[in-house]
Chains A and B, each alone.
Chain A
């Protein structure tokens, strides 16, 4: 029974609080908050920069840069609070990310400084309203969700920019992908350089098989001198490529297996019985010429 009474009391209290906050709309509170932040701009910004330096964030940037950046972040922050629109801030965050990502600024640093600003501002609010606890509560009610959204927006903007850069680089790598070259009638070479991931391996295979068909190739030399490492998936893919080429009537010669890759292939037990391997690209081409019935002769001594 006593518990129930308590519950009733609590509900009444809650109702009171809701009524109170309803009497003063959040937007009004926000306006007051923004006015406060505008007024103390210089001091709060200063404090924020000190905190940033103290926590050793943005070490890739000079003090002046941090200060300049801090000023514009501060202003966008207050503006976002005031207008409750986040597009401008989003655009700014993207722009900022574009500038600082190439300088090696990490995600945690960007999130860190925004959270620091949030902290600095909240502290100043505590200081200002320390005598009026109820008001502080309502101010925080208005401030917290907006501040959270801002932090969210900035972090997401930064990560999105990062992902965009990564996508761009992936595309660049894909474009640099390997050409299938015809060096003699019915003889193709496929020099592979760099890291092969499953996606690239697939693309290489498709290109090669299509190349075999269009060039009517009988022999293909795959040179992997430029490949540093190979995992099980890719090694198996290579074997599959060899087999698929055979189904198209072409013989594959693999050249330039590095000692490390040879070791890997033996360790993981890839079935190399179906693979034709030669030490280097020259040897591979010579072997291919033999298979095709070519005979290379020197007509005169080189001068």
Chain B
């Protein structure tokens, strides 16, 4: 299932609908990296609330997305990781070290607003 990418002001929002295949994840990665420059977005929010399992491929892809987006000049925030998923990820050593995370979409947007407040 393809992940829709929504444009909300200067932010791109990708919401995972359900568990995704590896191909879907790859497609999402390319889509985000292309559109972030196309729309001149300053940030990307990836909402993973619907994911109740996160395997190492998904986790690695999220990290790669964050790094690639940074190279394209924007910032990434991962939001909505479930408590159980978070703990499972940590136990597997998938800690998304240098990626910003937030509780949910609202938090993620609040974080970005705060961050971009002074630069407008």
Binding site for B on A (CB under 8 A): 205-206, 209-210, 212-213, 216, 218, 240-241, 243-250
Contacts and interface: CB of A to CB of B under 8 A. Distances in A.
A124 B86 CA distance: 70
B90 A244 contact: yes
Contact of A249 (B82, B84, B91, B103): B103
Given A240-B90, A247-B89, A212 B95 contact: no
Nearest to A205: B87
Nearest to A209: B83
A181 to B, nearest CB: 17
Given A248-B103, A249-B103, A249-B107, A209 B87 contact: yes
Interface class of chain A by DSSP: helix
B102 interface: yes
Interface in B72-96: 78-79, 81-84, 86-87, 89-91, 95-96
A96 to B, nearest CB: 45
B101 A246 contact: yes
B108 to A, nearest CB: 8
Contacts of A246: 95, 101
A205 B86 CA distance: 11
Given A205-B87, A206-B87, A209-B86, A249 B79 contact: yes
B91 A247 contact: no
B86 to A, nearest CB: 4
Interface string B27-68: 000000000000000000000000000000000000000000
Given A206-B84, A248-B81, 6 more contacts: A210-B83, A216-B107, A247-B90, A248-B83, A249-B107, A250-B103
B107 A247 contact: no
Interface in B4-25: none
Contacts of A218: 103
Contacts of B81: 247-248
B90 A213 contact: no
Given A249-B102, A249-B107, A244 B87 contact: yes
B95 A243 contact: yes
A244 B81 CA distance: 9
Contacts of B102: 249
A263 B51 CA distance: 40
Nearest to A208: B83
A244 B92 CA distance: 11
A240 B82 CA distance: 15
Most chain B CB neighbours (cut-off 10 Å) among A218, A240, A243: A243
A213 B108 CA distance: 14
Nearest to B87: A244
Nearest to A216: B103
Contact of B83 (A206, A216, A240, A243): A206
7 contacts: A212-B103, A213-B82, A240-B90, A243-B90, A247-B90, A247-B95, A249-B108
Contacts of B87: 205-206, 209, 240-241, 244
A249 B82 CA distance: 11
B54 to A, nearest CB: 10
A216 B108 CA distance: 12
A248 B101 contact: yes
A86 to B, nearest CB: 47
A225 B104 CA distance: 32
9 closest A-B pairs by CB: A209-B83, A249-B102, A247-B86, A244-B86, A249-B103, A240-B90, A244-B90, A243-B90, A244-B87
Nearest to A215: B103
B66 to A, nearest CB: 13
A216 B110 CA distance: 13
